[in-house]
Chain A
Amino acid sequence: MKLTGAQMLLKCLEMEGVEVMFGFPGGAVIDIYDEIPNSTVEHILVRHEQGAIHAADGYARATGRVGVCLVTSGPGATNTVTGIATAYMDSIPVVIFTGQVPRALIGNDAFQEVDIVGITRSCTKHNYLVQDIEDLAVTIKQAFYLARSGRPGPVLVDLPKDVMQQVAEFRYPESVQMRSYNPTCKPHVGQVRKVMKLLRKAKKPLIYSGGGVITSGSHADLTWLARNLCIPVTSTLMGLGAFPGDDPLFLGMLGMHGTFAANMAVNNCDLLLAVGARFDDRVTGKVDTFAPNATIVHIDVDPTSIQKNVSVHVPLVADCKAALAALRAESEASLDDIDWCADHREWVGQVQDWGREHPLTYKDDDAVIKPQFVVEKIYEITKGDAIIATEVGQNQMWAAQFYKYTRPNTLLTSGGLGTMGYGFPAAMGAQRAFPGKLVIDIAGDGSIQMCIQEMMTVVCNRLPVKIVILNNGYLGMVRQWQELFYRKNYCETCLDAQPDFVKLAEAYGAAGFRVTEKKDVESTLREAFALDKPVIVDIRVAREENVYPMVPAGASLTEMLLV
């Protein structure tokens, strides 16, 4: 079958099972857009390319499948860079198609030309410039394979306009052969035994679970291990939802805004089992004093993550799912002769005492609305059965602390890059994947203004995303740092000048609510969540509320500032 490059691209997407892509047209990709009506792949027109890439990313996080976006050359391509870096830092599988000027013009500073392959080299897992239509199908096959295998990540494919117009015989390869790319996914048996031995010996073991557990789909094995071997679990921001947040063994997040119990447990454990987590500086605090008494086991599919930030005693390079399944198989045999829970009773008791001594808390108030109270109400109303996206800042930390994530893929948040503007378009992508589900973006008044134009996209695509703005009139997280570490010099963090968010929602054809009194929080949220259309709920919260506990940057995890 002879096809044009544009037809081929869409055929390939169909064969990869892609149901939807998010995009924005332009001269370099008109040929592709010309074919979209003939394809089963749905296209959602965003209002800014950053919205397209975040939506593809949110779709990927919520479904575990590859997200796809399509943009034009030059400015279209560069507008995706923030989103690509966001997906890269959080290991999210997305494939980005960018238009490119015709091959004859490449390198000539042609109209709307940028070297997007060069620009994104350091924030993609891999990227391609397709120079010949004969390579197109193979390249796309590889792009999807690379995006989802090993340590997942974004892969960019740059498509010159004339290649999209060329005609060639279409053959989609059935499998991928790349002699240079062979991620290690199966765990080494000897290492698994070694880990088992350490687990048997440990008196105070602790599981430190990260986003890799979610990406690899290994939450069931993680949960089995923790419960059957009676090991407390702490999680990174990215790992929330991998282990049920309402389980008594769950300590909450660790690190800068982690719980007292989690940070104390890290400090006192004798065995730290790190799974799919990468010892980010927001997690470790001062590295020299991180888990000072522990033997550290590190399971990760990416060898570069191991030994990068902390020195690890037992590395286990493998897909988390394969590794945890192997550990589970090994320990299943031990359940008859070892009473794990008896062995760990004292330790688990100690850890839970820490949790009771210093739970996550805040000073509630009837005169003003506390942002934590709002998040708690959202959890109560949804009973945890919603997909929560967040923006970045205090809103993100409160969403992590005061909402209990009981299932994987239900928290969509920019962990590694901390991208303001991520949450709303990501929520849009998730809502497209799950039209019937309640999808809520917990936002700050600063962040929401970064990609607010996607209101139009959600309205015309009937994606009933709910935006709850914890409106403190500040770039709150930066203001918190200024308060604590910069003599309250609130330089350029006050957002007194604000749009009327209710009118703004209405201008786009969505619904808007404003809440200024505590007594109205619950009823308004209920009303908003029940509406079958996009909604902004603008909640005026205590202006100078801080996120606690807090470990100051560079301090040890035990040096927490508490409420």
Chain B
Amino acid sequence: MNKHTLSVMVENEPGVLSRVSGLFSGRGFNIYSLNVAPTLEKGVSLMTIVAEGDDQIIEQIVKQLRKLVPTIKVKDLTEVKSVEREMVLIKVNAEDSKRAEILRIVDIFRCKVVDVSTDELTIEVTGDQGKIGALINLLGRFGIKEIARTGNVAMQRSMQMDL
């Protein structure tokens, strides 16, 4: 089982999201995360879907997505160099004795504190899966109270260069 990030361009018409998600549920495919929003092009939306499965399943997912009538383009970004980002809000326990340490971590990870109370901090973080995983790991021992994730958004790199 591998995670693949699929970038799916679709006609932005009513029901298109349920066509896509219905395809996954109806065929027993697993969606790890799904993100949809309009693009610059009129009437076109971009979905970033992180799907799980072995090679054969991923191949079927890609083909089935292409087969949907409103689908314009499907790209498996796992096969090319791409930039992937996720935005996460984390509400963490932060009583006075721990606060300094949490803020240090926030600093190192270049996150932002977006809400504060006497015993909690809410942190906004953007990054790839690795960074987000590491941060959640580090904050875990303080006690994470709530977490909200957008799921990945992704784009193929324009130059084959790592930045």
Please indicate whether A and B come from the same complex rather than being unrelated chains. Answer: yes
From residue 13 to 33 of chain B, which have CB atoms closer than 8 A to chain A?
14-15, 18-19, 22-23, 26
Given A126-B69, A180-B72, A303-B67: A118 in contact with B60 (beta carbons within 8 A)? no
Given A303-B63, A304-B64: A117 in contact with B70 (beta carbons within 8 A)? no
Q: Does B158 contact A (CB under 8 A)?
A: no
Looking at the complex, which one of A121, A180, A304, A307 makes contact with B11 (CB distance below 8 Å)? A180
**Min distance, Cβ B130 to any Cβ of chain A, angstroms:** 32
A303 to B74, CA, bound (A): 14
**Min distance, Cβ A394 to any Cβ of chain B, angstroms:** 31
Check if B18 sits within 8 Å of A121, measured CB to CB: yes
Q: Does B54 contact A (CB under 8 A)?
A: no
**Min distance, Cβ A157 to any Cβ of chain B, angstroms:** 13
**Min distance, Cβ A233 to any Cβ of chain B, angstroms:** 28
Check if A117 sits within 8 Å of B15, measured CB to CB: yes
Check if B22 sits within 8 Å of A121, measured CB to CB: yes
Check if A307 sits within 8 Å of B69, measured CB to CB: no
Q: How large is the interface on B (under 10, 10 to 19, 20 to 34, 35 or more residues)?
A: 20 to 34
The residues of B that contact A302 with a CB separation of less than 8 Å are 67
Which residue on chain A has the smallest CB distance to residue B70? A180
Q: Does B56 contact A (CB under 8 A)?
A: yes
Contact indicator per residue, chain A 123-142, by CB within 8 Å of chain B (1) or not (0): 00110010100000000000
A121 to B25, CA, bound (A): 12
Check if A180 sits within 8 Å of B10, measured CB to CB: yes
**Min distance, Cβ B14 to any Cβ of chain A, angstroms:** 7
Which residue on chain A has the smallest CB distance to residue B73? A180
From residue 360 to 399 of chain A, which have CB atoms closer than 8 A to chain B?
none
The residues of B that contact A307 with a CB separation of less than 8 Å are 56, 59-60
**Min distance, Cβ B27 to any Cβ of chain A, angstroms:** 9
Check if B70 sits within 8 Å of A129, measured CB to CB: no
Q: Does A181 contact B (CB under 8 A)?
A: yes
A126 to B10, CA, bound (A): 14
Best-buried of A125, A131, A179, A180 by chain B (most CB within 10 Å): A180
Q: Does A313 contact B (CB under 8 A)?
A: no
A179 to B15, CA, bound (A): 18
The residues of B that contact A181 with a CB separation of less than 8 Å are 69
The residues of B that contact A166 with a CB separation of less than 8 Å are none
Q: Does B71 contact A (CB under 8 A)?
A: yes
**Min distance, Cβ B11 to any Cβ of chain A, angstroms:** 5
Q: How large is the interface on A (under 10, 10 to 19, 20 to 34, 35 or more residues)?
A: 10 to 19
The residues of A that contact B60 with a CB separation of less than 8 Å are 304, 307-308
A139 to B23, CA, bound (A): 23
Q: Does B3 contact A (CB under 8 A)?
A: no
The B contact surface, by secondary structure, is helix
A373 to B35, CA, bound (A): 61
The residues of B that contact A131 with a CB separation of less than 8 Å are 14
Check if A122 sits within 8 Å of B66, measured CB to CB: no
Check if A122 sits within 8 Å of B63, measured CB to CB: no
The residues of B that contact A333 with a CB separation of less than 8 Å are none
Check if A125 sits within 8 Å of B15, measured CB to CB: no
Best-buried of B23, B64, B67, B69 by chain A (most CB within 10 Å): B69
The residues of A that contact B15 with a CB separation of less than 8 Å are 117-118, 121, 129
**Min distance, Cβ A511 to any Cβ of chain B, angstroms:** 45
Which residue on chain B has the smallest CB distance to residue A121? B22
Check if A118 sits within 8 Å of B71, measured CB to CB: no
Looking at the complex, which one of A117, A122, A304 makes contact with B67 (CB distance below 8 Å)? A304
A3 to B21, CA, bound (A): 38
Contact indicator per residue, chain A 52-79, by CB within 8 Å of chain B (1) or not (0): 0000000000000000000000000000
Looking at the complex, which one of A118, A121, A178, A303 makes contact with B66 (CB distance below 8 Å)? A303
Which residue on chain B has the smallest CB distance to residue A181? B69
Check if B64 sits within 8 Å of A125, measured CB to CB: no
A180 to B13, CA, bound (A): 12
The residues of A that contact B19 with a CB separation of less than 8 Å are 121
The residues of B that contact A117 with a CB separation of less than 8 Å are 15
Check if B14 sits within 8 Å of A129, measured CB to CB: yes
The residues of A that contact B71 with a CB separation of less than 8 Å are 180
The residues of A that contact B69 with a CB separation of less than 8 Å are 125-126, 146, 178, 180-181
A129 to B26, CA, bound (A): 21
A146 to B67, CA, bound (A): 12
Which residue on chain B has the smallest CB distance to residue A306? B63
**Min distance, Cβ A304 to any Cβ of chain B, angstroms:** 4
A174 to B22, CA, bound (A): 33
**Min distance, Cβ A184 to any Cβ of chain B, angstroms:** 10
A131 to B13, CA, bound (A): 11
A interface with B by C-beta (< 8 Å) = 117-118, 121-122, 125-126, 129, 131, 146, 178-181, 302-304, 306-308
Given contacts A146-B69, A304-B60, list 13 more A-B pairs with CB under 8 A. Answer: A118-B18, A121-B19, A122-B23, A129-B15, A179-B72, A180-B10, A180-B70, A180-B71, A302-B67, A304-B63, A304-B64, A304-B67, A307-B60
* List of 8 A-B pairs having minimum Cβ-Cβ separation, nearest first: A126-B69, A304-B63, A180-B72, A122-B26, A303-B63, A181-B69, A304-B67, A180-B11
A-B contact pairs, 11 of them (CB 8 A): A118-B18, A122-B23, A126-B69, A131-B14, A179-B11, A180-B10, A180-B11, A181-B69, A303-B63, A304-B60, A307-B56
